[in-house]
Amino acid sequence: MDDLNTALAISASGMKAQSGRIRIVAENLANANSTAGAPGLDPYRRQVPVFASYLDRDADANMVRMSRVELDPSAFSLKFDPSHPAANVEGYVQLPNVNPLIEMMDLREAQRSYEANLGALDQVRSMAAATLRILE
């Protein structure tokens, strides 16, 4: 049963990491059009989750977690819109460095990883139930 508990813990850590990733992607998508409020200020900058493995001493297994969130250093794009409140003297507005297509691909990948961990968790639960039925 100890191995089954370890397998449950590993799947749960993967699910937690992927749910954090989904949250970050959702924030990026929600702010894909968030420009600055005044000239000279930066618009929304894309966030990128960073994962790390760690040793869970209780489960004696390597787990995964979202260790931090970094800002994407890629450049902002410019759009000519002299009427915008954040337009510079040339009439250009900086747009966020969020590409909705990339975010949707990341979201789909995170969803599939979450579902894979959920499937593994369900399999472990089924094995535990079968083991208990055998022991009865």
Q: What is the predicted pLDDT for the residue at 136?
A: 79
**Residue 85 vs residues 46, 92, 109, 115: alpha-carbon distances, Å:** 21, 10, 37, 43
Domain that holds residue 51: 2-135
Q: Calculate the dihedral angle through the C-alpha atoms of 110, 111, 112, 115, rounding to the nearest 10 degrees.
A: 120
Q: What is the predicted pLDDT for the residue at 1?
A: 56
**Residues in contact with 6: Cβ distance below 8 Å, sequence separation at least 6, in sequence order:** 59, 60, 61
Which parts of the chain register pLDDT below 70?
1
Q: What is the predicted pLDDT for the residue at 3?
A: 83
- Joined together, the tokens standing for residue 44 give 């929304």
Q: How many domains would you assign to the chain?
A: 1
pTM: 0.86
**Residue 43 vs residues 24, 51, 53, 70, 83: alpha-carbon distances, Å:** 17, 26, 32, 16, 16
- Please work out, in degrees rounded to the nearest 5, the angle formed at the alpha carbon of residue 11 by the alpha carbons of 5 and 12: 85
Q: What is the predicted pLDDT for the residue at 12?
A: 92
Q: What is the predicted pLDDT for the residue at 56?
A: 87
Q: What is the predicted pLDDT for the residue at 110?
A: 97
The secondary element (H helix, E strand) that includes residue 128 is: helix 100-135
